[in-house]
Amino acid sequence: MADTRDHEISVEQQHLDRAYRRLLEKIDEAEFLMRDAAKLGHVGTPGALAERDAQVHRAGVHLNRLNNEFEDFVFGRIDLLAGKDGKKGPDGAYTAVEVAENAIGPDNTADIAETLHIGRIGVLDTDYSPLVIDWRAPAAAPFYRSTPVAPGRVVRRRVIRSKGRRVLGVEDDLMRPELTAFLGGTPLPAVGDGALMAALGRSRGHSMHDIVASIQAEQDLVIRAPAASVTLVEGGPGTGKTAVALHRAAYLLYQDRRRYAGGILIVSPTPLLVAYTEGVLPSLGEEGQVAIRALGDLADDAAGPGGASAYDSPAVARVKGSARMGGVLRRAARGALELPVAGAFPGTDQSEANGQLTLAAPGRPTAPPERLRVVAFGRRVELGPEVLKSVRRTALSGSGPINYLRPRARRLLLDALWERSGGADRHNDPELAAELRSAFDEDITSEDSFTEFLDAWWPELKPRRVLAAMASERRLGRWSRRVLDQGEVRRVARSLRRLDPETGAGPLSVHDVALLDELHAVLGAPARPKRPRAYDALAELTGVEELMPQREESRRERAERLAAERTEYAHVIVDEAQDLTPMQWRMVGRRGRHATWTVVGDPAQSSWPDPEEAAAARDEALGTRPRRRFTLTVNYRNPAEVAAVANQVLALAMPGTEPPRAVRSTGLAPRYVVAADHGGLAASVRAETERLLGEVEGTIGVVVAMNRRGEAARWLADLGPRVVALGSLEAKGLEYDATLVAAPAEIAEESVVGLRVLYVALTRATQRLTVVAGDRDAPDETGVPDLLRD
């Protein structure tokens, strides 16, 4: 067996060497083309330039990926029977899916008619035969889809493990074990015992790995689902939803790069999950087409560098996330026109009511003016509070964002002044009257007092300032009358006191970001320079420079810039969709008004208390496009021993929910420890974490209730980078070799959805789980907390 294995490894090594040789040739060609392109940049038709540049760009991308990103660029192989017809696709592989009638002999012998190697990029040989097929190409689908039950043409499926340019091992699965197959006259051997299990047993680091070598059939169906509509994917913890979502983005880009030039947005719940997933597929970051963003970082510039950093208690979050806030914000935006304005307005101010004209101290906010006084045709014309109110009402009845209604308000003011001036009665001749009117308008609008009045009376409103204005309970109460109750008003107002009342500067919570984004839509923002959408050959030429040394803007920087400039996307992928609040759905929906969607989630892990309200907001965001539903059923993360504990909590959190099936078992039962009374939790958590450090090679996640985040970080501060302290809500989507869940009852009691949050915490471990019972856990004599018992 060892001989066969070594032989097979050397066979794959030879193939890999050939693929690398061919790539080096292509790199040489690319370098030549790059030099050539630099020389000939000014001659040739735009079409020829574009074609050459695209070639250079592609070659450079290959080069870059190979050199920097991938260690194991060829990872699979399939050996296939002859297909029904002899047609070949553009990648040089036969396209037939069904087996040719005479492919299998009467004594169950068969010849292998085609061998395909699968890799992260495709490579054609000089004769256009495929040396490596891109994993996203149709010809690679059988590598993922074939099973012994439905083998198709596949006889043997092989996963190749390599490091750098060296093949280290092979693992084979026979899809047709009943056949004796021959390759070039020799029987086809099978080596190893399954690639999936080997992949799942690997210890975990702080970032996610791709799964291209071991995508399972049910996952492949989702990854390659047509993008024409909405793809909804549900599945329990560890079923690969995040992995599938990321691979789907890579697949869609490969399928139709031009269509997705409009961008793919991947929305993640937390910055931790973004950091964890960002590097999974380097091909995603390549050309600025894919943006992976946390919900707190989605509204441009809203939260500032690093995104949302403040935390809202569940009670506050519940109000801020609710769809009811939509109406409140619309009223707030209108009401904000009445807010005091910074800077002096000489025309009038509050004290004008006493007949005195005073100037406010520079920079000090003053109430908006209540009177407009101008001089026209040598006469004073004045509009009082009632007229101004009515003008504002009329202006606001127009459709569109409030900041864009200012020109309309200005016109209405001029109309009112004109009427008040009696100018309309001076001439009967319409032409003369019109002339007079335009002279009147010019007269008035050239007066500083008019412009200053307008700036104070209809200022340009900024979302942050309006949000900060909601920190006043009195104001918020007015703006949310009959929508929020008194307690809700108080809670929301208090939470906004961390913002500067004048500028709105200050730390935001992830829920504030959705509110700001809504305000942005209601108020309107200055138009931004448009990015050219169409394919622009000359613009693309910059790709050449990027591949050269001393480039001005790296590919990554360009990707980030393009992503930042984009406000709408061609495809939107929502991860952990069960957690989006209605206000967040509205925010995400605005980025995908014309998009197709992939939405992945697990209702049993939802931390939003009102699923119906969220579903309604989701439906509004997704529109009426047709939907395709998929369910993932296999848990690849948790060993069966860990999943069994989590399932106890699932039964309490969502009775009747079918848990996913765990594929692995480690034989290691979870460990239960009871913390000593009075502050013993810290000592026990620390001691147990140290113990886990000795038991696993990779990472350890220690999950505590949100209000213990800070102290848990201190308990574990000096234990090194393998240990991470997490608040319960931060654990979402992440995984660790070992997880320690501290005081589960505290997590369960944190909010009305605490049990679901605890379920998330208990499903993070890939190998070991330790539970430390706290004061409220009522452990039995073996230390098992009440909530986790059978």
Ligand X SMILES: Nc1ncnc2c1ncn2[C@@H]1O[C@H](COP(=O)(O)OP(=O)(O)OP(=O)(O)O)[C@@H](O)[C@H]1O
- Binding residue positions: 235-242
Helix (H) or strand (E) holding 489: helix 486-495
235 binds ligand X (CB under 6 A): yes
By beta-carbon proximity to ligand X, the closer residue of 470 and 762 is 762
Among 215, 329, 508, 731, indicate the residue that binds ligand X (CB under 6 A). 215
Among 91, 349, 735, 750, indicate the residue that binds ligand X (CB under 6 A). 735
Q: Least distance in Å: CB of 535 to ligand X?
A: 34
Q: List, as one string, the DSSP characters of 430-443.
A: HHHHHHHHHHHHHH
Q: Least distance in Å: CB of 134 to ligand X?
A: 18
Q: Least distance in Å: CB of 304 to ligand X?
A: 28
Q: Contacts with ligand X in 178-207 (CB under 6 A)?
A: 196, 199-200
Closest CA to 62 of 115, 17, 119: 119
Q: List, as one string, the DSSP characters of 605-672.
A: G---S-HHHHHHHHHHHHTT--EEEEEE-EEEEEEHHHHHHHHHHHHHHSTTPPPPEEEE--S---EE
495 binds ligand X (CB under 6 A): no
729 binds ligand X (CB under 6 A): no
Q: Least distance in Å: CB of 675 to ligand X?
A: 27
Distance between CA atoms of residues 202 and 211, nearest Å: 12
Strand, coil or helix: what is 681?
helix
- Burial track 574-610 (b if 16+ CB lie within 10 A, e otherwise): bbbbbbbbbbbbbbbbbbbeebbbbbbbbbbbbbbbb
512 binds ligand X (CB under 6 A): no
| Options 68-76, 82-90, 238-246, 444-452: segment touching ligand X (CB under 6 A) | 238-246
547 binds ligand X (CB under 6 A): no
Q: Least distance in Å: CB of 502 to ligand X?
A: 41
Q: Contacts with ligand X in 758-777 (CB under 6 A)?
A: 763
Q: Contacts with ligand X in 631-670 (CB under 6 A)?
A: 636-637
240 binds ligand X (CB under 6 A): yes
| Options 82-90, 215-223, 350-358, 517-525: segment touching ligand X (CB under 6 A) | 215-223
Measure Cα distances from 328 to 266, 484, 583 in Å.
29, 9, 12
By beta-carbon proximity to ligand X, the closer residue of 53 and 735 is 735
| Options 224-232, 235-243, 371-379, 692-700: segment touching ligand X (CB under 6 A) | 235-243
Measure Cα distances from 434 to 188, 382, 409, 425, 705 in Å.
94, 22, 20, 12, 71
| Options 237-245, 424-432, 553-561, 743-751: segment touching ligand X (CB under 6 A) | 237-245
| Options 135-143, 172-180, 211-219, 772-780: segment touching ligand X (CB under 6 A) | 211-219
Closest CA to 597 of 622, 632, 630, 614: 622
| Options 241-249, 312-320, 554-562, 647-655: segment touching ligand X (CB under 6 A) | 241-249
In whole angstroms, what separates CA 152 from the centre of its chain?
Answer: 36
Residues annotated in the binding site for ATP, as ranges? Answer: 235-242
Distance between CA atoms of residues 619 and 617, nearest Å: 5
By beta-carbon proximity to ligand X, the closer residue of 240 and 774 is 240
Distance between CA atoms of residues 89 and 411, nearest Å: 64
Q: Least distance in Å: CB of 278 to ligand X?
A: 14
Sign of the dihedral through C-alpha 381, 385, 391, 395 = positive
480 binds ligand X (CB under 6 A): no
239 binds ligand X (CB under 6 A): yes
242 binds ligand X (CB under 6 A): yes
> Which bin fits 528, alpha (ψ -120 to 50), beta or left (φ > 0)?
beta
Among 76, 83, 152, 238, indicate the residue that binds ligand X (CB under 6 A). 238
76 binds ligand X (CB under 6 A): no
By beta-carbon proximity to ligand X, the closer residue of 235 and 504 is 235
Q: Least distance in Å: CB of 727 to ligand X?
A: 16
Contact 475, 515 (CB under 8 A): no
Q: Contacts with ligand X in 602-631 (CB under 6 A)?
A: 602, 605
310 binds ligand X (CB under 6 A): no
Q: Least distance in Å: CB of 236 to ligand X?
A: 7
320 binds ligand X (CB under 6 A): no
| Options 210-218, 504-512, 613-621, 717-725: segment touching ligand X (CB under 6 A) | 210-218
Measure Cα distances from 765 to 200, 692, 740, 770 in Å.
12, 12, 9, 10
Strand, coil or helix: what is 673?
strand
φ, ψ for residue 659 (rounded to 5)? Answer: -75, 155
By beta-carbon proximity to ligand X, the closer residue of 214 and 421 is 214
Distance between CA atoms of residues 381 and 400, nearest Å: 30
What is the token pair recorded at 313? 């208690």
Query: Which strands sit side by side in the sheet containing 596-601, from one edge to the other?
Result: 290-294, 264-268, 571-574, 596-601, 230-235, 627-632
Distance between CA atoms of residues 777 and 766, nearest Å: 24
| Options 54-62, 230-238, 338-346, 488-496: segment touching ligand X (CB under 6 A) | 230-238
Q: Which residue has the tokens 């018992």?
A: 789
Closest CA to 241 of 253, 250, 228, 232: 232
Closest CA to 501 of 476, 530, 536, 521: 476
Among 83, 92, 733, 774, indicate the residue that binds ligand X (CB under 6 A). 733
| # of chain residues touching ligand X (CB under 6 A) | 24
241 binds ligand X (CB under 6 A): yes
Contacting residues for 654 by C-beta, under 8 A, at least 6 apart: 603, 604, 756
Q: Least distance in Å: CB of 124 to ligand X?
A: 28
Q: Least distance in Å: CB of 576 to ligand X?
A: 6
By beta-carbon proximity to ligand X, the closer residue of 197 and 538 is 197
Among 66, 211, 281, 745, indicate the residue that binds ligand X (CB under 6 A). 211
Measure Cα distances from 236 to 165, 200, 633, 636, 641 in Å.
37, 17, 7, 10, 16
By beta-carbon proximity to ligand X, the closer residue of 284 and 499 is 284
Q: Contacts with ligand X in 343-382 (CB under 6 A)?
A: none
Q: Contacts with ligand X in 548-607 (CB under 6 A)?
A: 602, 605
Q: Least distance in Å: CB of 726 to ligand X?
A: 14
216 binds ligand X (CB under 6 A): yes
In whole angstroms, what separates CA 229 from the centre of its chain?
Answer: 19
243 binds ligand X (CB under 6 A): yes
By beta-carbon proximity to ligand X, the closer residue of 282 and 365 is 282
Q: Least distance in Å: CB of 212 to ligand X?
A: 9
Q: Least distance in Å: CB of 241 to ligand X?
A: 3
φ, ψ for residue 221 (rounded to 5)? Answer: -60, -40
Q: Which residue has the tokens 């680091």?
A: 205
Q: Least distance in Å: CB of 285 to ligand X?
A: 18
Q: How many residues does the chain have?
A: 790
By beta-carbon proximity to ligand X, the closer residue of 319 and 771 is 771
296 binds ligand X (CB under 6 A): no
Closest CA to 408 of 524, 515, 502, 517: 524
By beta-carbon proximity to ligand X, the closer residue of 29 and 658 is 658
Q: Least distance in Å: CB of 131 to ligand X?
A: 25
DSSP tally for the chain: helices H, then strands E:
27, 24
Contact 166, 12 (CB under 8 A): no
Distance between CA atoms of residues 756 and 776, nearest Å: 18
Query: Which residues here bind ligand X, judged by CB under 6 A?
Result: 196, 199-200, 209, 211, 214-216, 219, 235, 237-243, 602, 605, 636-637, 733, 735, 763
